[in-house]
Structures are given as C-alpha cells and as structure tokens.
C-alpha cells in the first residue's frame, strides 16, 4: 500500500506482545498482581539502577519524581523550553517554580552551563533521544531528574540512560511512539531506597500498609494518587523490553540512512551523538527554511510529520514566567525550522524513500 499514510512514530507489536497481554487477561489479577514488579525489576536490570517504580503514564512518573524529591513550594527548578509541557507541569504540580534555560544549538538539549547555583532542581530532558551530558553541570542542584521519555536504550560514557549515575531519578515514558510501549505508562528509576519507597506510596494513594495490626490494615500517611500501572500494561512492557536493543539498533539504522539520503538537500540534520554516547532516535528532527511550506507539503503527500515542540514559553499557561517568543533565541530559532520526519522500527526503506523524495521535491520547488 504505497499510498498509505506514514506517521512520524508508531508502535511495533508482534504476536509475542499479544500473547503476553492475553495471558494476563486470562489470569486472576489484571492489576496489582505479580507482573508489574517483574517489569520493574527487568527495567532496573536493563538500565543498571537499584530500583524502578512503574506508573500509569510518563506524566504521572514525572509528577511522582518531583514529589519524591522533596522539592518545596517556591523553589526554582530549571528545565528546557524545547520539550513537551509535562516537563514543566511536574514542577508546578508540587508548587515549585519552573525556570527556563535556553538550549545548546549544537545538541538541541538544555545548555547546562547556564544552570545557576540558585536552582534547587533540574529536569534534564534528553531531547529526541540524545542524552544530555550531565558532566557539563558547573553547579549541581540539590535534585537532578532526567526526563528520559525519549531515550530508553540510549547510553552515555557513564552507563545506560536510567542508571542515575549523575542524577537522583530518571523518568521513562511508554507511550506508543516511544522506544517501547505499554499503551500508556511510565517508570522512575533511582538508586535511593528512600525515593523508591516514596514513589510507591505516591502512586498508591499515599497508603502505608500496617500488617502488624491485621492483614487488612493500612494508614494513609500523605497525599497520593492512583497512578498504578496495570498488569496488562506491564506484560506488554516486558515483552517489548526484550526487543529494546533491536528497536534502538533499527532506529539508528534508519537515522543513518536518512543522513546519507538527505546529505545534499537544503536542511540541517539532527545533532549526532558524541563519542561514547548512543542516540535513542525517538525523533529525527530536521531544520528547514519555510517550515510551513515543507510541513504542509509533506502532510499533503500522506506523510504525517510533526513539530517537536511548540516551546514551553509560547504557551499561555506559562505566561507567569515572564518570557515571550524570542526571549530564548536558540530555542526559538530552532523551533521556527523544526520538522520531525517519520522514524520507528517498522518504517520500511520504501516508506523512507517516499519521505526523502517528497522532501527533495518540496525543497527544490
């Protein structure tokens, strides 16, 4: 079906995934059963962290990480403007104050050299799957949270993204377009038993079991939420995780092919991973002139490209930050030209050729 629409991202499911979910659906426990802890252990082992705590979504996981970190109302937490709004919302959820720092145009990630000593926290987003090099922090905030929603399977010279070698917690998302999927879902990894226990309470209404008073007994010791992942989601995640290395390898192969095919076109390719880093390539964001013409032209040809992202300081909800379009020049200059091309493990060479040929036609017209 050469004329079928091609999305910018898509889940990659097979019979093993379907069988794993079906097995749980035929079991006695659809939620709060044994599969969620099994998935948590598998993720922790995969990234090299001591603990992993599953959540119902990546946003819920970000909220949990911000809560568990103990950030106080009014404290300043810095993050990037080139991200989905959830990276800022998790800061607001706990009453802290988000502050935006411009991006490094060479990486499209947050410019860590601008993080001041006044910052209590940092939410470091690995944009498009390219890990932020946390070694560049001149002054480490009290709390460092990695928003690795794009970068499960990516790695750094200090280990896999998620091992928390230079951070307190790392957050992953399992939305269908992400490196692996559970439908919706998220995970926080950490090496702190204190953070892990806080995360587990927070996702389960703040409940603390009190079995010494009876198997039924519990106390609610703090405000919490129902952010639990189901066993059906976890079963899908376990099956998907077994294919993670293949998924990331395929994404890198697609990215390499794009780089070869797009070499002579009038556009700027995404930043590459530096020596010692492995890119996750959740996105393949190119920068073009006349972005609207390119975007609309590709969409008209059945290629459902996207723009990642409308910068955080352009949204009305963040007007209190006192920033306007143009105030973060590196981010705004990148945003004006960004288009995310299709990239997902099941993307075929023929589909990729459609993207490249359409892009070539539009850029030379």
| Model confidence pLDDT, tens digit, residues 114-126 | 999 999 999 999 9
pLDDT at position 171 over 50: yes
Element (H, E) at 100: strand 97-100
| Contact present, 170 and 188 (Cβ < 8 Å) | yes
Same domain membership, residue 258 and residue 226: no
**What is the spatial distance between Cα 8 and Cα 305, in angstroms, rounded to a whole number?**
5
Residue 315 confidence (pLDDT): 97
Same domain (yes/no): 197, 55: yes
Cβ-contact 330, 31 below 8 angstroms: no
Is the pLDDT at 365 greater than 90? The verdict is: no
Q: What is the pLDDT of residues 314-337, one digit of tens each?
A: 999 999 999 988 899 999 999 999
Residue 235 lies in a domain: yes
> Which residue segment(s) compose the domain that 111 sits in?
15-241
Q: Is the pLDDT score of 3 beyond 80? A: no
Q: How many residues are present in the chain? A: 365
- Is the distance from CB of 149 to CB of 128 less than 8 angstroms? no
| Per-residue confidence band for 88, with pLDDT thresholds at 50, 70 and 90 | very high
Do 196 and 72 lie in one domain? The reply is: yes
Of the three residues 198, 213, 241, the one that is the final residue of a domain is 241
Q: Kindly state whether residues 267 and 224 are assigned to the same domain.
A: no
Asked if 232 and 251 sit in the same domain, the reply is no
Same-domain pairing of 274 and 137: no
Both tokens assigned to 142: 């009290």
Pairwise CA distance, residues 239 & 218, whole Å: 33
148 and 185 part of one domain: yes
* Position 203 in a domain: yes
Q: Are 299 and 332 in contact (CB under 8 A)?
A: no
CATH code for the domain of 65: 3.40.640.10
Any domain includes 106: yes
Is 275 among the domain residues?
yes
Q: What is the mean pLDDT of residues 127-135?
A: 98
Do residues 142 and 183 both lie within one domain?
Answer: yes
Look at residue 1 and tell me if it is in a domain: no
Q: State whether 302 and 237 are in the same domain.
A: no
Mean pLDDT of the chain: 97
**How many structural domains comprise the chain?**
2
Instruction: Count other Cβ atoms within 10 Å, centred on residue 260.
Output: 8
CATH number at residue 349: 3.90.1150.10
- What pLDDT does residue 2 have? 55
Residue 237 pLDDT grade (very low, low, confident, very high; cuts 50, 70, 90): very high
Are residues 71 and 214 located together in one domain of the fold? yes
Mean pLDDT of 2-12: 91
8 Å CB contact between 98 and 91: yes
Domain co-membership, 195 together with 263: no
What does the pLDDT average to over 210-232?
94
Mean pLDDT of 5-30: 98
Distance between CA atoms of residues 5 and 109, nearest Å: 30
Does one domain contain both 187 and 308?
Answer: no
Residue 2 domain-assigned (yes or no) = no
What's the pLDDT tens digit per position in 273-317? 999 999 999 999 999 999 999 999 999 999 999 999 999 999 999
Residue where a domain terminates, one of 185, 212, 241: 241
Instruction: Indicate the pLDDT class of residue 1, thresholds 50, 70 and 90.
Output: very low
Residue 10 lies in a domain: no
Domain boundary among 241, 266, 299: 241
With pLDDT > 70 as the criterion, what percentage of the chain qualifies?
Answer: 99
- Asked whether residue 164 is domain-assigned, the answer is yes
Judge whether residue 153 has pLDDT over 70: yes
Section 40-47 average pLDDT = 98
């Amino acid at each position: 079906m050469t004329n079928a629409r091609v999305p910018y991202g898509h889940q990659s499911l097979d019979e093993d995934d379907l069988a794993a979910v079906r097995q749980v659906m035929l079991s006695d426990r659809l939620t709060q059963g044994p599969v969620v802890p099994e998935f948590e252990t598998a993720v922790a082992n995969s990234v090299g962290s001591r603990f992993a705590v599953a959540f119902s979504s990546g946003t819920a996981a970000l909220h949990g990480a911000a809560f568990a970190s103990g950030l106080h109302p009014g404290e300043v937490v810095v993050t990037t403007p080139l991200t989905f709004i959830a990276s800022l919302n998790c800061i607001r959820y706990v009453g802290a104050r988000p502050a935006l720092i411009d991006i490094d145009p060479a990486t499209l990630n947050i410019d860590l050299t601008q993080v001041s000593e006044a910052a209590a926290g940092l939410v470091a987003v690995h944009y498009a799957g390219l890990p932020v090099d946390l070694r560049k922090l001149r002054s480490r905030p009290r709390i460092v949270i990695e928003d690795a929603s794009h970068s499960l399977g990516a790695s750094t010279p200090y280990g896999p993204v998620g091992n928390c070698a230079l951070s307190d917690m790392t957050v992953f998302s399992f939305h269908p377009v992400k490196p692996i999927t559970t439908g919706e879902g998220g995970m926080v990894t950490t090496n702190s038993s204190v953070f892990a226990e806080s995360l587990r309470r927070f996702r389960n209404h703040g409940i603390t079991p009190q079995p010494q008073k009876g198997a039924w007994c519990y106390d609610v010791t703090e405000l919490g939420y129902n952010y639990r992942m189901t066993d059906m989601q976890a079963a899908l995640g376990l099956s998907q995780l077994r294919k993670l290395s293949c998924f990331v390898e395929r994404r890198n192969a697609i990215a390499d092919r794009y780089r070869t095919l797009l070499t002579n076109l009038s556009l700027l390719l995404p930043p590459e991973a530096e020596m010692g880093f492995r890119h996750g390539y959740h996105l393949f964001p190119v920068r073009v002139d006349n972005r609207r013409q390119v975007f609309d032209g590709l969409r008209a040809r059945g290629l459902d490209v996207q723009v990642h992202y409308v910068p955080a300081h352009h949204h009305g909800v963040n007007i209190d930050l006192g920033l306007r379009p143009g105030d973060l020049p590196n981010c705004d200059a990148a945003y004006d030209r960004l288009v995310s091309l299709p990239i997902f493990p099941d993307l075929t060479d023929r589909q990729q050729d459609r993207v490249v040929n359409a892009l070539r036609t539009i850029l030379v017209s």
